[in-house]
Structure 1
Amino acid sequence: MLRAEGAVPVRMRRVAVMAPEQALRECLLRIAEAGCVEVDLAGDGGPQVRGPAATRLQRLRAEAAQPMLCEAPPDLDVLEREGRTDLLAGEAQLEQRLGSAVRHGAVAALAGWCPETEVGATAARIAGAGAALVPLRAPRGVDPPTLLAGADTAPAVHTATPVRRSFTPLVTTYGTVPYADLDPTMAAGIVYVVMFGLMFGDAGQGLLLVALAFLLRAGRPRRLAALRPLWPFVAGAGLAATVAGVAYGEFFGPTGVLPVLWLQPLQEPMRLLAVAVALGAVLLAGAYAAGTVNRWREGGRASALCATTGIAGAALYLGLAVCAGYVWLGQVAYGVVGAVIAVVGLALAGTGLYATTAGGPGGAVQTGIQLFDAVVRIGSNVVSFARLAAFGLTHGALGALVWDGTTALAGRGPVGVAAALPVFLVGNAVAFSLEALVAGVQALRLEFYELFSRLFEGEGRPFRPWHLPVQHLTGPAADAGPPATEEAVRQGPAREESS
């Protein structure tokens, strides 16, 4: 199947790094600085043989600083005496990769993975060291590592807009997307902010979220500077809440500042409930469609046909939905058609589930239990979206409570007005904090358990490129050679350039 840009993880290429033995260190320094290649380590997943730098780092028994590399080979004894755990940690990582190289005569080679878009630039970078980056065929039975556009695991690979980068944690928090699957980042982010807005529908408080987003963008407060990349996500949630608040006529509660354009949650709860469940049904249908594509990409048509998260599950879901139409409309034709579609879905799903059992009567019983669970799950998952309405009503009730208390105090003369203002401010602050947390958690729960559970059946392996800053020596320090003395290490290089 064709890969649409942005709809799938970043395309990876299997590569070999080939260099003359004497140039291997310089080649690896350039790879570390580029931060675009995941290098295979010998004995990966097992005990590693410790090199001289790693042994000295262990003897120091100090907390290692951020690893970094020095352009020239350093004197490890001097680094140990000076407690330079940053350079020792970097040299220890370099030792691992030097020890993982396959050597033939005067040539050394390492295998790894690199984003396809970065192969050319990385090849040109290491060519200056006399090395070459050779594309290889991916080994059979081995899935490439997964890199989502916008993930922070590869800071040197710039492949995403700020909006996509802010949405990526929604997916990576759940797990690593298998390489063959669709990348749901943008869809997941949009769905999340819509669900959040329905539960946190207040134009005034939504605008406060937007203001908070722009403060994050400006790096304020400094204690939250690490959250700066999330500002588009927070702004999107605030805009969704503002739009919902305009539709509800809510501006810091039912203050009457805005007219009701659609419905007032506390006055029409059943209508809001019906909309929430209908939205959930549409989202589940989309999740089944994406899940079917994923099963097809993972295992072909047979896997997609019989999976409960593929065509079989989608048919069962569609059949039950049509049967629900019969209950709602009373048309017998809906019931007959829905039952036929549901039975076909059950038969396909049963075939796939039975094939994973040991067979016999025990396998049949296990399959029956799993089919019953699949049916119950569909119903419970659809109903679970009623929480969009429930928490929307809770938010509206808190706003109404604060506003009723404010107006009651304001009607008692000057003293009441003086008391009404703090009640309004504190009440809205409490409602804002509490409901933002609750709506955020509930939207995340719906996305993970109701939607992502249908998209993914397994987990991939994250792309972990080797990326370390390198100290470059210039001027007199470069002419003097490597830092072989304590004084040279203490003073450091004349100039540092970090990637």
Structure 2
Amino acid sequence: MIVKMKFVNISGPRNDIDRVTDLYLSRYEIQLESALSELKTVDDLRPFMEMNPYRDALNKAVQFVDYLPDSENITPDDSLTLNDMFEVIRNANQSYTGFQEKRNELKKRMDELKKKQQIIAPFKSMDCELGKILNFKYIAYRFGRIPIEYFDKMNKYLMDNLSAIFVEGERDESYVYGAYFLSPGDTQKIDAVFRSLHFEKIELPDEFRDTPVDEYQKLIREIYNTNQKMDELEKAIGEMFLSQAPRLIAAKNRLEELANNFDVRKMAARMENKKEDYYILCGWMAEDDVEMFLQEVKNDDKIFVVVEDDRDTYFGEPPTKLENPKIFKPFEMFVRMYGLPSHDEIDPTIFVGLTYSFIFGVMFGDVGQGLLLLIGGGLIYHFKKAPLAGIIATAGIFSTIFGFMFGSIFGFEDVIRPLWLRPIDHMTTLPFIGKLNTVFIVSVAFGMGIILVAMLLHIVNAARSKDTENIWFDSNGLAGFVFYLSIVVTIVLFMTGHKTPGGIVMSIMFGIPLLLILFKEPLTRAVQKRAKKMDEGAGMFLVQGFFELFETLLSYFSNTLSFVRIGAFAVSHAAIMEVVLILAGAESGSPNWAVVILGNLFVCGFEGLIVGIQVLRLEYYEMFSRFYKGGGRAFEPYTKKTKKTKKK
């Protein structure tokens, strides 16, 4: 059901806006609209240009509370004043800043150690003391790397003729790491040769004194010790925040409330003249909330409230807030997926809840599997509040009911007796058609009834929006309803062996509605006394109208036959479970229970998913498309409703 909304204007002295927001509006659901945009006819309006004084402190409080483990279970210290809260945040920030400086120093040290580790790692296999090599006076050296292909060429063609020695270190996929040693007098010549071989020089830090492997091990130990210090620092930060946890959470909660209240100014307007300076707020509230709000502020002489009656003329479409019984609440998800209803539309949630669950139950009728869906979906919905789980649980109720109707429990059809029939076996004989599965026939009949109900809902929605064409002449309006109802009645009379209506009745019931649908545009103009002429000629109008009428008739036929899938899935479910039981060897009297259990779980999950999608398709394409537009906008209050008691 759609909650009835009212548009309210709230005004008072400018310096009183925080009190009013905190004392009253924060405890009601109100969707604020921009006062500057909505109140265009009011002169001397200007925006608020104030910075939010709570936002920076709130950002810090949120950051600090995130450090607390299991913060939702910590009881806040509600005894703090606003000054206390700012003091708590300030002190925590000072301590945190000190920790941050130490953390940055450790992080810088960690980066330096890892960089040195990357430099020395490729030379670990070289057995030499770096302190001696780095202090050589009569031997020059170059540490670096050379591409593997050039290293092989060097060894094969050049090394015998070079007055240099290359000591190899580690290798990777692309390079050979190492160092070459040479006489200082040959540096220019030898360096030129190695440059031609794409040798890349790597500078080793002067602090390396021991062997490369020893230096590498030292760095590993230093990295480990630095990590330990960082962990201890993080622990100290957590303990510092934990000692202030109740105060920090209280500060965060209250500052969040105050910051949101202050941000109301973004939607407010100021009206200032020489004598007075007022704020103006406007927005949508539920009718019940408006009555409670007016009752609460009636003795407050600093707040003035006006409830607008002519809202459609000046303030546009109200937002949509859905409020349905708990059992149907999860089905609002399907409605929102298609689009929220506008304020003058019927909320289809209950209709969807009933039809979806009923059709799902017919297509997936099994006592055992229905109970599994009910229990599993119910538990998930209870703990996780997932709407889809609630839908599954409700559908499971109807699956269980139709399981008794069909006499099926976990695929076994010889355990309980069907209250109605067995879908896979029961047949019905129809005139001129012969034998058909009874469930198929009932499914089509049910579909005809659902289509008629959808047409009635279309007429109601059209009447609410005062849409003449859709009330009387649309293919889903009264003309289409009479035509389709006539077809249904004719088919029922024919199939039950009664004489069909006479020619005159047939022409009236079939012909006249089709003519009304064909000429709906000129008839609508005539009813509304509009003299607008057709854009195209009469011939083109008739040709276009003929094909549109043909498409309408085709859609009646295809939409009706689409409901055959209900019976088809009811039969296929029974057939699939027969296959599962055959695979389990149930015919021998001693089935393999592991196969039975796994088969039931597979069918329950896989076929349940397919049936759920097919039922949703029926909802959207065969029902929603006939009566529902879903052009509404969601009701989005700036804050959630809390207790209706005055704050101290």
Q: 587, 594, 609: which one pairs with 1:422?
A: 594
> Aligned equivalents of 1:29 and 1:366: distance in 2?
61
Q: Does structure 2 conserve the Cα–Cα contact (< 8 Å) formed by 1:23 and 1:129? A: no
Shift of residue 400, structure 1, vs aligned partner: 0.9
Give unmatched runs, 5+ long, in structure 2: 39-46, 67-79, 97-251, 428-436, 526-533
Q: Does structure 2 conserve the Cα–Cα contact (< 8 Å) formed by 1:325 and 1:334? A: no
Q: Does structure 2 conserve the Cα–Cα contact (< 8 Å) formed by 1:197 and 1:242? A: yes
Amino acid at match of 2:414: G
Q: Does structure 1 conserve the Cα–Cα contact (< 8 Å) formed by 2:473 and 2:516? A: yes
Amino acid at match of 2:385: A
- Please give the residue correspondences for 1:452-491 in structure 2 after superposition, counting only pairs within 5 Å: 452-457=624-629, 459-467=631-639
Q: Does structure 1 conserve the Cα–Cα contact (< 8 Å) formed by 2:14 and 2:270? A: no
1:175-233 deviations in Å (ceiling 9; x for gaps): 111211222222221111100000110011011112124423541xxxxx131x66654
Moved more, 257-266 or 394-403: 257-266
Q: 327, 335, 357: which one pairs with 1:163?
A: 327
Amino acid at match of 2:535: A
Q: 208, 225, 241: which one pairs with 2:399?
A: 241
- 3-state DSSP class of the match of 2:267? helix
Shift of residue 91, structure 1, vs aligned partner: 6.7
- Please give the residue correspondences for 1:49-128 in structure 2 after superposition, counting only pairs within 5 Å: 52-53=51-52, 90=260, 93-98=263-268, 100=269, 102=271, 105-125=276-296
Tell me if 1:16 matches 2:9.
yes
- Please give the residue correspondences for 1:295-306 in structure 2 after superposition, counting only pairs within 5 Å: 295-299=462-466, 301=468, 303-306=470-473
Tell me if 1:143 matches 2:310.
no
User: Going by fraction, where is strand more abundant, 1 or 2?
Assistant: 2
Taking a change above 3 Å as real, the CA distance of residues 330 and 339 of structure 1, as seen in their structure-2 partners, is: farther
Q: 2:363 corresponds to which residue?
A: 199
- 3-state DSSP class of the match of 1:186? helix
> Aligned equivalents of 1:362 and 1:290: distance in 2?
32
1:46-83 deviations in Å (ceiling 9; x for gaps): xx9997459x99xx9xx9999xxx997999xx99x979
> Aligned equivalents of 2:515 and 2:581: distance in 1?
56
Q: Does structure 1 conserve the Cα–Cα contact (< 8 Å) formed by 2:32 and 2:638? A: yes
Q: Does structure 1 conserve the Cα–Cα contact (< 8 Å) formed by 2:476 and 2:626? A: yes
Tell me if 1:321 matches 2:488.
yes
1:324-350 deviations in Å (ceiling 9; x for gaps): 346644734266534422222222222
> Aligned equivalents of 2:438 and 2:270: distance in 1?
66
Q: 1:226 corresponds to which residue?
A: 385
> Aligned equivalents of 2:49 and 2:364: distance in 1?
54
Amino acid at match of 1:148: L
Moved more, 425-434 or 231-240: 231-240
Q: Does structure 1 conserve the Cα–Cα contact (< 8 Å) formed by 2:365 and 2:408? A: yes
- 3-state DSSP class of the match of 2:556? helix
Amino acid at match of 2:605: S
Shift of residue 304, structure 1, vs aligned partner: 0.9
Q: 1:405 corresponds to which residue?
A: 583
1:382-431 deviations in Å (ceiling 9; x for gaps): 111111011112211111111122125866xxxx86xx122111111100
Tell me if 1:384 matches 2:562.
yes
Q: 34, 39, 44: which one pairs with 2:32?
A: 39
- 3-state DSSP class of the match of 1:461? coil
Shift of residue 146, structure 1, vs aligned partner: 2.0
1:99-149 deviations in Å (ceiling 9; x for gaps): x45556332222221111111222345566932332112334433222221
- 3-state DSSP class of the match of 1:238? helix
Taking a change above 3 Å as real, the CA distance of residues 315 and 188 of structure 1, as seen in their structure-2 partners, is: same
Amino acid at match of 1:216: I
Shift of residue 168, structure 1, vs aligned partner: 2.4
Taking a change above 3 Å as real, the CA distance of residues 138 and 44 of structure 1, as seen in their structure-2 partners, is: same
Q: Does structure 2 conserve the Cα–Cα contact (< 8 Å) formed by 1:315 and 1:344? A: no
> Aligned equivalents of 2:377 and 2:309: distance in 1?
45
- 3-state DSSP class of the match of 1:320? helix
Taking a change above 3 Å as real, the CA distance of residues 348 and 30 of structure 1, as seen in their structure-2 partners, is: farther
> Aligned equivalents of 1:53 and 1:333: distance in 2?
76
Q: 28, 50, 68: which one pairs with 2:21?
A: 28
Amino acid at match of 1:445: R
Q: 264, 285, 306: which one pairs with 2:452?
A: 285
Taking a change above 3 Å as real, the CA distance of residues 17 and 431 of structure 1, as seen in their structure-2 partners, is: same
Shift of residue 12, structure 1, vs aligned partner: 1.4
Count of aligned residue pairs for this structure pair: 432
TM-score, with normalisation over the residues of structure 1?
Answer: 0.75
Taking a change above 3 Å as real, the CA distance of residues 15 and 216 of structure 1, as seen in their structure-2 partners, is: same
Shift of residue 315, structure 1, vs aligned partner: 1.9
Tell me if 1:358 matches 2:526.
no
Give unmatched runs, 5+ long, in structure 1: 1-5, 151-160, 220-224, 471-496
Taking a change above 3 Å as real, the CA distance of residues 337 and 189 of structure 1, as seen in their structure-2 partners, is: same
1:145-166 deviations in Å (ceiling 9; x for gaps): 222214xxxxxxxxxx312323
Amino acid at match of 1:254: F
> Aligned equivalents of 1:16 and 1:166: distance in 2?
34
Q: 2:476 corresponds to which residue?
A: 309
> Aligned equivalents of 2:50 and 2:546: distance in 1?
56
TM-score, with normalisation over the residues of structure 2?
Answer: 0.59
Shift of residue 446, structure 1, vs aligned partner: 0.9
